[in-house]
Amino acid sequence: MTRLLFVASEAYPLIKTGGLADIAGSLPEVLRQQGVDVRLLLPAYRQLLDGIDQSRTVAELELAGISLRILATVLPGTGVETWLLDHPSFAERLGNPYHGPDGQPWPDNADRFMLLSRLAAAISTGEAGLDWRPDVLHCNDWHTGPAVALTHLQEQRPLTLFTVHSLAHMGLFDRGTFERLQLPGHFWQDSALEFYDQFSFIKGGLVYADYITTVSPTYAREICESPGGMGLEGLLQARRERLVGILNGIDHGVWNPAADPYLEHHYDAANLEGKALEKTALQRSLGLAELDDRPLLGIVGRLVEQKGLELILPALGDILAKPAQVVVLGTGERRYEEQLQAVARAHPDAMAVILAYDESLAHRIEASADIFLMPSLFEPCGLNQLYSLRYGTLPLVRAVGGLADTVVDATPQALADGTATGFVFGPPDSGEFMSALARAIALWRDQASWRRLQATAMAQDFSWQRSAARYLELYDSPR
Ligand code: ADP
């Protein structure tokens, strides 16, 4: 039985800021069900500790002069044994895991996530005083990069995998931080953790891991080139044979319109009445006009440039004039929040903007909307378009990363073949976005065709089974 240590900075439902939590909250459980002996390692953030019923102490240890405890609990809703790194820098701070209320990264992020990395490496190399050691160390994103590098210092080490959920966050710090953290001096070189005179956490994973994975085949290609590689394309190109794109799955238990506990009305592909009732209920609760003669367009996500706000904002006036209604749920950059709110204030019956993180409302928007907008500039995998497909809310996306791999454009050919599941456009400009939206709205007006598209979309299988099998293959691969 493979023993797997899966390390991440967040996992649903304990702590979530984005897609990484959805993956870390579901993949380990799927692997466990397939016979893997898995331990999930997370930082014990305050709100995480407040959200669990019980935990027990498995070990107390000191790493690089820092005392910490490992607490054990079970990831709610799963059978996954979860180890929590208990240290005041996580446990004594409320709010976002990565940044303070001012939006600035916590000043000790390098120290906090280095501690997580050190602990992962210590468990992996048998130096944490536990009677369990993994055959495979699977790390995720920059917070865990140094864990891979440190593990590779030891001869007796597990196979290592590093998954890139987004290359945009590299964990860059200055040289003083590198020195303060007392890492081996030879890590300070271009072929190791140095990145243009800075200390890069993510390079720990990218340089050293036996295998690098990322969350879609297209994104795996994009990061080997400029601009997708963001300066790391040379390194990734050199490691191309060890880089694999594996599409994320979605948790059909959590995202299922036929049984979603956040919904008042349930539905499936055979009977979409519940979807229409959800739309009316959402319109009512958000103060939108209760009209069914125009499509409701949904946006859920971080309000940042990556998500294509520069394409959406200039087009909003035209969108509402189609006519269409728009609902936006998200938080992010102040300038985007303000611009969106200004349009909503001017058109209160046609547009609602909710600046919050709200799991329940995210589900209700997925269920209520007719079209989901996701014109991202880049998108490693993207989950919301997958949720949308499952909820019969046809996604309108840009042809990048995982969006290109998961949505089939409603071209005349694809409509005739019955393979179309949404709307896809290429060049990142507002005009292209609007012409894709015009196509979508025209098709929405032809309800018989729309129903066919919805049925195809809802029949897509993006559950974890296939992707989990790919990870299992890698866990069994030679170093
Ligand atoms: P990313 O990881 O880049 O933020 P993804 O589409 O991969 O984007 O995943 C985003 C996840 O976070 C989805 O599960 C989405 O529903 C959720 N999410 C994002 N913003 C919000 C919000 N404001 N309220 C509720 N859920 C949100």
- pLDDT, tens digit, 9 for 90 and up, residues 233-287: 999 999 999 999 999 999 898 999 999 999 999 999 999 999 999 999 999 999 9
| Per-residue pLDDT reduced to its tens digit, 174-230 | 999 999 999 999 999 999 999 999 999 999 999 999 999 999 999 999 999 999 999
331 in contact with ligand 1, CB cutoff 6 A: yes
- Residue 475, token pair as written in the block: 């866990």
pLDDT in tens, 99-157: 998 889 999 999 999 999 999 999 999 999 999 999 999 999 999 999 999 999 999 99
What distance in angstroms lies between residue 301's CA and the mean position of ligand 1's atoms? Answer: 5
Residue 22 Cβ inside 6 Å of ligand 1? The answer reads yes
What spacing in Å lies between the alpha carbon of 188 and ligand 1's midpoint? 35
Q: Which two tokens stand for residue 37?
A: 């002996």
Å from CA of 19 to ligand 1 middle: 6
Give CA–CA dist 213/245, Å, rounded.
Answer: 6
Question: What pLDDT is attached to residue 18?
Answer: 87
Centre of ligand 1 to C-alpha 372, Å, is 13
Over residues 341-370, mean pLDDT:
98
Query: What is the fold of 273-458?
Result: Rossmann fold (3.40.50)
What's the CA gap between 155 and 133, in Å, rounded? Answer: 14
For ligand 1, pick from 23, 165, 300, 391 the residue to mutate: most ligand atoms within 8 Å of CB: 300
DSSP secondary structure code for residue 47 in this structure = H
* Ligand 1 in reach of 380 Cβ (< 6 A): no
Q: Is the CB of 26 under 6 A from ligand 1?
A: no
> Which of 22, 163, 305, 391 has the most ligand 1 atoms within 8 A of CB, as the residue to mutate?
22
- The answer to whether the CB of 359 is under 6 A from ligand 1 is yes
- Ligand 1 and 368: CB distance under 6 A: no
Q: Is pLDDT at 89 greater than 90 in this prediction?
A: yes
**DSSP-derived 3-state class of residue 238:** helix
User: For position 152, what pLDDT does the model report?
Assistant: 98
Which of 309, 384, 385 is the best mutation target for the ligand 1 pocket, counting ligand atoms within 8 Å of the beta carbon and taking the most? 384
pLDDT in tens, 26-82: 999 999 999 999 999 999 999 999 999 899 999 999 999 999 999 999 999 999 999
Q: Is the CB of 300 under 6 A from ligand 1?
A: yes
- Mind listing the pLDDT tens digit for each residue in 394-434? 999 999 999 999 999 999 999 999 999 999 999 999 999 99
pTM: 0.95
Q: Is the shortest distance between the CB of 7 and ligand 1 below 6 Å?
A: no
Distance 406 CA to ligand 1 centre (A): 17
What 403-410 contacts at long range (C-beta under 8 Å, 24+ apart), as own/partner pairs, is: 403/374, 403/376, 403/379, 404/216, 404/218, 405/216, 405/217, 405/218, 405/247, 406/216, 406/247, 406/382, 406/460, 406/462, 410/439, 410/440, 410/443, 410/453
Tokens for 447, please give them: 């309800």
Domain with CATH 3.40.50.2000 in the chain: 3-249+464-475, 273-458
Q: How far apart are CA 123 and CA 132, in angstroms?
A: 8
Collect all residues with Cβ–Cβ distance below 8 Å to 145 and sequence separation of at least 6: 117, 139, 162, 171, 193, 200, 201, 202, 203, 204, 205, 206
The tens digit of pLDDT for each residue in 452-469 reads 999 999 999 999 998 999
Architecture of the structural domain at 3-249+464-475:
3-Layer(aba) Sandwich (3.40)
pLDDT of residue 307: 97
pLDDT at 261: 97
**Which one, of 271, 347, 255, 344, lies nearest residue 303 by Cα?**
344
